[in-house]
Chain A
Amino acid sequence: DIDDVGHKYHLELVLEDVLDKDSTVNCTAEVLYHLGNKNIAPDVQFTIEGELKNTDEADNMFYNRIKSLEKELVAENIPDSHGNVSPEMEPIHLLAWVASGYVIWQNSTENTKFQLAQIKHVKQVKRSDEYLEFDYMILLHEMVSQEIIPWQMTVLWHPQHGVQVTQDSRQPKHASE
């Protein structure tokens, strides 16, 4: 408890590579939830002990594949009702995962627990520069209220420049049906 400021948490975590369960790395973090104002994202400071795996090859393969598509990529329901994600859509799924992490961070309080539930819709947006741009409609599952919240997010990605969420907005509940 920090008077007049908020609540600070010290965390020791182990990060596990979703694509390689045996690959782990230790991490320490400090999270400060601000008092009162619900519109400020918590402050996060972190240190990763060691190095994250190099993914250049897979990144470039995905980048080139998308760049060479004749028609802009469009897809929906990832995973589908039965939990399936086709191999071609797996990177799209992972990209949404990362981008939703940003959205979740920006909207988290001590009383929320968000998970990405599903990509309802994703559409590639053609760009003249080197970036890939995707317009996502995702569903976030909030554990405490159990609500499923549709959320729009515009995601930019480049193998060397990483992920950026340039726009995001919460949607009204029936927007996804």
Chain B
Amino acid sequence: QLDFWLSPRGPGYPVDVRVPFPSLQPLKAHLEANGISYSIMIEDVQALVDHERTEMLRSRRRLPLSTNTFDYAAYHSLDEIYTFMDLLVAENPNLVSKLEIGRSTENRPLYVLKFSKGGTNRPAIWIDTGIHSREWVTQASGVWFAKKILLDHEKDEGLASILDTMDIFLEIVTNPDGFVFTQTQNRMWRKTRSTHSGSTCIGVDPNRNWDANFGGPGASRNPCSETYHGPYANSEPEVKAIVDFVNNHGNIKAFVSIHSYSQLLLYPYGYTRTPVPDQKELHQISEKAVAALSSLYGTNYKYGSIITTIYQASGGTIDWTYNQGIKYSFTFELRDTGRYGFLLPAKQIVPTAQETWLALKVIMLHARDHPY
């Protein structure tokens, strides 16, 4: 019944062993009879285990009791983020509410935070993060944005004036199934977790599943591919939920979908080289937004249409939203440019979120000043 914590390797190497009580005397006798020296490292292992257990229970109850004690400079689990959302709403129910817009493939709720100072169906700004689950700095930034809106909604002139006439919708974990998978099984998981008959491969690229030249070049029809577009447009509940929300709302004026990495600010189209009619305006906004972003820490961003700046992609989010009439449709690719890539150190979360927020404000202010 001996439980070796440091296994025998050979003569001259120490061995650590946990000895159940009944075996204690026989083992001591055996070692002494063979001239093997020993020392007791832990008198009572059970006592240690019991102590650790109580400590763990205590620290689990030490969950952040407010959004002020939440650690924004760390990566969090899905449960922690969902708890954060509830805390945020509880702290300011007049400003923030939580909406469930659907359920994921694995039946996780899809939550959107609504920031509103009133009115009915005001023109709105949509921001989503975490649509690709491995892009962890995005969900983390989403959490920071939520807190930022709460902190600044009265004292920041720009934000206050935006909220006077517009609502902000923020979906922090757009792909919760993928997110959980990155935490439990594969840190590099990008897609959803849907299954498809005829293949053992799982998941659809949620940024190829939209109804904008769906199935065209720049997406794959191979279910095992990272850019698999899915069996048909909006097949993914995570995508369908947003489509339904946008259509039902009917008054979204700016739509920003956030990814990492590459440090880019992009506008449509991804599926064709034909420029969008509003190309000039979107380009100018991008220039201003990127300048604002860089002003904080000197982070360099490039900007342009998806197809000319990054690559051809069809079935993409903002191609669809633009074609629905949401003129101010943008995609961000946040830090970095490849040194850490998806594995961005947690200490870069807050600086990334801070600089990105400046760019978002430029977009939001422009939407406010140019109603359509």
Complex alpha-carbon distance, A82 and B345, angstroms: 6
| A117 close to chain B: CB less than 8 A | yes
| A23 close to chain B: CB less than 8 A | no
User: Which partner residue on chain A sits nearest B337 by CB separation?
Assistant: A115
Q: Is the CB of A83 within 8 A of B311?
A: no
Q: Is the CB of A146 within 8 A of B226?
A: yes
Q: Is the CB of B225 within 8 A of A79?
A: no
Please, what's the 1-or-0 string for A141-165, where 1 marks a CB less than 8 Å from any CB in chain B?
1011111100000000000000000
Complex alpha-carbon distance, A84 and B136, angstroms: 14
Which residues of B sit under 8 angstroms from A173, Cβ to Cβ?
A: 224
A146 smallest CB distance to B (angstroms):
4
State whether A81 and B226 are in contact (beta carbons under 8 Å apart), knowing that A115-B338, A143-B311, A146-B190 are contacts in the complex: no
Q: Is the CB of B188 within 8 A of A148?
A: yes
User: Which partner residue on chain A sits nearest B134 by CB separation?
Assistant: A148
Q: Is the CB of A83 within 8 A of B225?
A: no
| A177 close to chain B: CB less than 8 A | yes
Q: Count residues of B near A (Cβ-Cβ below 8 Å).
A: 29
Q: Is the CB of A147 within 8 A of B344?
A: no
| B341 close to chain A: CB less than 8 A | yes
Q: Which listed residue (B183, B226, B338, B343) contacts A80, Cβ 8 A?
A: B343
Which residues of B sit under 8 angstroms from A139, Cβ to Cβ?
A: 188
Q: Is the CB of B75 within 8 A of A147?
A: no
Complex alpha-carbon distance, A82 and B74, angstroms: 8
Complex alpha-carbon distance, A143 and B341, angstroms: 11
- Identify whether the interface residues of A are mostly helix, strand, loop, or mixed: loop
Please, what's the 1-or-0 string for B338-372, where 1 marks a CB less than 8 Å from any CB in chain A?
11111111101000000000000000000000000
Which residues of A sit under 8 angstroms from B338, Cβ to Cβ?
A: 115-116
Please, what's the 1-or-0 string for A3-33, where 1 marks a CB less than 8 Å from any CB in chain B?
0000000000000001000000000000000
Q: Is the CB of A145 within 8 A of B226?
A: yes
B210 smallest CB distance to A (angstroms):
16
B22 smallest CB distance to A (angstroms):
35
Q: Which listed residue (B226, B310, B344, B348) contacts A148, Cβ 8 A?
A: B226
A20 smallest CB distance to B (angstroms):
14
| B187 close to chain A: CB less than 8 A | yes
Which residues of B sit under 8 angstroms from A115, Cβ to Cβ?
A: 338, 341
Q: Is the CB of B75 within 8 A of A141?
A: no
Please, what's the 1-or-0 string for A122-146, where 1 marks a CB less than 8 Å from any CB in chain B?
0000000000000000010101111
Q: Is the CB of B185 within 8 A of A83?
A: no
Complex alpha-carbon distance, A145 and B225, angstroms: 8
Which residues of B sit under 8 angstroms from A81, Cβ to Cβ?
A: 75, 136, 182-183, 187, 343
A139 smallest CB distance to B (angstroms):
7
| B227 close to chain A: CB less than 8 A | yes
Interface residues of B in 147-206 (CB under 8 A from A): 182-183, 185-188, 190, 205
Q: Is the CB of A147 within 8 A of B226?
A: yes
Complex alpha-carbon distance, A23 and B75, angstroms: 32
Which residues of B sit under 8 angstroms from A144, Cβ to Cβ?
A: 311
Q: Which listed residue (B182, B183, B227) contacts A146, Cβ 8 A?
A: B227
User: Which partner residue on chain B sits nearest A115 by CB separation?
Assistant: B338
State whether A177 and B343 are in contact (beta carbons under 8 Å apart), knowing that A83-B348, A147-B226 are contacts in the complex: no
Which residues of B sit under 8 angstroms from A82, Cβ to Cβ?
A: 74-75, 343, 345-346
Complex alpha-carbon distance, A139 and B134, angstroms: 14
Which residues of A sit under 8 angstroms from B340, Cβ to Cβ?
A: 79, 83
Complex alpha-carbon distance, A124 and B149, angstroms: 50
Please, what's the 1-or-0 string for A102-116, where 1 marks a CB less than 8 Å from any CB in chain B?
000000000000011
Complex alpha-carbon distance, A79 and B341, angstroms: 10
Please, what's the 1-or-0 string for B301-343, where 1 marks a CB less than 8 Å from any CB in chain A?
0000000001100000000000000000000000000111111
Known: A146-B205, A147-B226, A148-B226. 20 other contacts (CB 8 A): A79-B345, A81-B75, A81-B136, A81-B187, A81-B343, A82-B74, A83-B343, A83-B346, A116-B338, A116-B341, A117-B188, A117-B341, A117-B343, A118-B188, A141-B188, A143-B262, A143-B310, A144-B311, A145-B220, A147-B225
A-B contact pairs, 21 of them (CB 8 A): A18-B339, A81-B187, A82-B74, A82-B75, A82-B343, A82-B345, A83-B343, A83-B344, A115-B338, A115-B341, A117-B341, A118-B188, A139-B188, A141-B342, A143-B262, A143-B311, A146-B205, A146-B227, A147-B225, A148-B188, A177-B185
Interface residues of A (CB under 8 A from B): 18, 79-84, 115-118, 139, 141, 143-148, 173, 177
Interface residues of B (CB under 8 A from A): 74-75, 136, 182-183, 185-188, 190, 205, 220, 224-227, 262, 310-311, 338-346, 348
